[in-house]
Structure 1
Amino acid sequence: MSTMVHEGQETRPRGAILWIALRAGVLFTVLCGIIYPLVSTGLAQTLFPDQANGSLLKDKEGNVIGSELIGQSFSGDPSYFHGRVSSIDYKGEASGSNNYAPSNSALISRVQASIAQWQQDNPDVPIQELPIALITNSGSGLDPHITPQSALVQIARISKLTGISAVELESLVSEFTESRDLGVFGEKRVNVLKLNLVLKEKLEK
């Protein structure tokens, strides 16, 4: 059997080295490709089942209507709360934004169109009260949240269209306002899909 020589010292036969490499490859394939995924998946399903399955939200009939991590467009129905602008139409497989500079003509045109639509949908709210978050795209284009103020300024429109009192809608926004993570990180926010799910139930009563 052939051997390998290094600096005058005889080492293990080549065949033995190949056999060791083969066993190591099989061992790490089993550990990293089978055992680790099974253990991590099992722990996730046991400890965090909702998050592990995509943080899915269901209606009262049990039908999946989306994920609390991915925004949806409600701009076609003025009787619901609207979320942030999405340059990718909230397509989960295409996360990202155009990353335009403030001087970009396409961005300016899009913002002007968003402002015009806001004025059309919310004639009772002065343009000065329009939060910038409602006319700007998030970095991912999938942001499911808006600021509490962005929800409150829509109440006049929704109350007028649905007949639900402004006081009741304000209470609803307050109920679904999430605090900063660990009380420190991020900002207070409102999940638009969760909010609209409850609003939908009220409208169907």
Structure 2
Amino acid sequence: MKRYFLPALKLTAVLVVLTAGIYPLLIAGVSKLAPGKGDGVTVSRGDTVVGYANVGQLFSDDKYFQGRPSAVGYNAAGSGGSNKGPSNADYLKVVQERIDTFLVHNPGVKKSEIPVELVTASGSGLDPHLSPEGALVQVKRIAALRGISVEKLNALVAGQTKGPLLGMFGPATVNVLKLNIALDDLK
């Protein structure tokens, strides 16, 4: 047993240095090459930071596009989902309440036209994106409240839509914060 103890202790020390020291420093160094320099990509309006590009936030005013619901109240420090499955009665009640609320705020939209992401929270609870369909289903409400034509808002959504990564990985998305900033900038 003594014969194996010293090599095991040395191996443990080497792995601690590698995994708790060198690897985290390497990842922190590589993150400085990413957009935002590892501190997150902020979105500014003029000289004021209004949010982060990759963290969803609540837009409760009907004159704005609303993003995906959050199971954690859009708290980036407490990222997580609800962990309730589609057969859970409490979860189904929450989803039905979200559907009912959406229909009240978006008259003329049928239940079958509501994209699922507008009534279900993401796994992280912080998803900043919608599908183009998730944004387009809200256009009539915003057009009526702001006095902007539906065509102009459809063009705005199309202009803010990012296609799949490299044209083939993932769905097309719209960043809700950037879309709402562009909406405010419309004249």
Task: Select the residue among 134, 149, 152 that pairs with 1:150.
Answer: 134
Letter in 2 for 1:68: A
Q: Quick check: 1:59 aligned with 2:68?
A: no
Partner SS for 1:64: strand
Partner SS for 1:116: helix
Q: Quick check: 1:72 aligned with 2:60?
A: no
TM-score, structure 1 as length reference: 0.76
Provide the rounded CA distance (Å) in 2 between the counterparts of 1:65 and 1:78: 19
Cα shift readout 1:27-49 (whole Å, capped 9, x = no counterpart): x97xx858x83x7656644x435
CA RMSD of aligned residues (A): 2.6
Q: What residue is the counterpart of 2:148 in the other structure?
A: 164
Percentage of pairs with the same residue? 40
Task: Select the residue among 112, 117, 121 that pairs with 1:133.
Answer: 117
Partner SS for 1:143: coil
Partner SS for 1:184: coil
TM-score, structure 2 as length reference: 0.83
What is the correspondence of 1:171-182 to structure 2 with a 5 Å cutoff? 171-182=155-166
Letter in 2 for 1:183: G
Q: Highest CA radius of gyration, 1 or 2? A: 1
Q: What residue is the counterpart of 1:103 in the other structure?
A: 87
For this pair of structures, how many residues does the alignment match?
A: 177
Q: Which deviates the most, 191-200 or 153-162? A: 191-200
Letter in 1 for 2:169: F
Partner SS for 1:65: strand
Task: Select the residue among 83, 89, 98 that pairs with 2:73.
Answer: 89
| Runs (4+) off by over 4 Å | 39-44
Q: What residue is the counterpart of 1:11 in the other structure?
A: none
- With over 3 angstroms needed to count, the CA separation of the structure-2 counterparts of 1:99 and 1:188, relative to structure 1, is same
Taking CA–CA contacts closer than 8 Å with sequence separation of 6 or more, which of the two structures ends up with the larger relative contact order? 2
Provide the rounded CA distance (Å) in 1 between the counterparts of 2:37 and 2:31: 8
**Following TM superposition, by how much is the alpha carbon of 1:186 offset from its aligned partner in structure 2, in angstroms?**
1.0
Q: What residue is the counterpart of 2:34 in the other structure?
A: 48
Cα shift readout 1:105-138 (whole Å, capped 9, x = no counterpart): 2111111110111111011222221111111111
Task: Select the residue among 118, 126, 151 that pairs with 2:102.
Answer: 118
Which sections of structure 2, spanning at least 5 residues, go unmatched? none
Partner SS for 1:175: helix
